[in-house]
Amino acid sequence: MSRTANSYREDDEYAPGTLARAFRDQFRAGRATVESCSWNTGLMPDPEKGCDDVMSLFGSHVFKFNKGREKKRLTAAIMGAHTLGSAKRENSGYQGSWSSKGSEGVFDNDYFRQLLTRGWGPELAVGDNPERNQWKTVDGAGPSSEHPQMMLNSDLCLAYDNNSAH
């Protein structure tokens, strides 16, 4: 995030007034690392359930004081954090990156660009697990074994769910 801030300085990342310096100076250690987090069950959307679960959880908890279209806008914004990451089969059961090669780990809008400009086709039973389904690229660029891209039901519904009831 500090590299994308207006205050970023390539010659001195931690110069006075930079976001990186503010992050560094305000950091406080103390989070305990745990092997499991059963208390978290039901607090994050189930990607298999798509927009219904995303809107229910974010709408009911995170953005409960916002209304209609504003909830959707804020939910889409928070989902944009996928531009920074990737999924690993051993962690979540899913496999791939939400961003194009070279854009992973960069706080930009590549997640939204990939979501809207790529062709997506279903990939069922990821890693032979029938409870893990995702979308893979099926357009002319094709999937890359070196950098597989994917989306989840909860991602694609942001762009393709036109049900006015949501």
What is the pLDDT, as a whole number, of residue 142?
Answer: 53
pLDDT at 67 over 90: no
Contact (CB, 8 A) for 77 and 84: no
pLDDT at 125 over 80: yes
What is the pLDDT, as a whole number, of residue 29?
Answer: 77
Q: Torsions phi, psi of 27, nearest 5? A: -65, 135
Cα separation, 15 vs 67, whole angstroms = 40
pLDDT at 85 over 70: yes
Phi-psi region of 101 (alpha: psi -120 to 50; beta: other; left: phi over 0): beta
Average pLDDT for 55-73: 78
CATH second-level architecture of 47-160? Orthogonal Bundle (1.10)
Domain ranges of the chain: 1-33, 47-160
What is the pLDDT, as a whole number, of residue 144?
Answer: 61
* Amino acid letter, 47: P
Q: Which burial class, exposed, middle or buried, applies to 32 when counting CB atoms under 10 A from its CB (0-12, 13-18, 19+)?
A: exposed
Average pLDDT for 116-140: 92
Percent of the chain exceeding pLDDT 70 equals: 93
Among the ranges given (27-31, 46-50, 117-121, 125-129), the one the predictor scored with the smallest mean pLDDT: 27-31
The closest alpha carbon to 117, from 133, 144, 105, 99, belongs to 99
Q: Is the pTM of this model over 0.95?
A: no
Determine the length of the chain. Answer: 166
Cα separation, 58 vs 6, whole angstroms = 29
What is the pLDDT, as a whole number, of residue 166?
Answer: 44
pLDDT at 45 over 60: yes
pLDDT at 53 over 60: yes
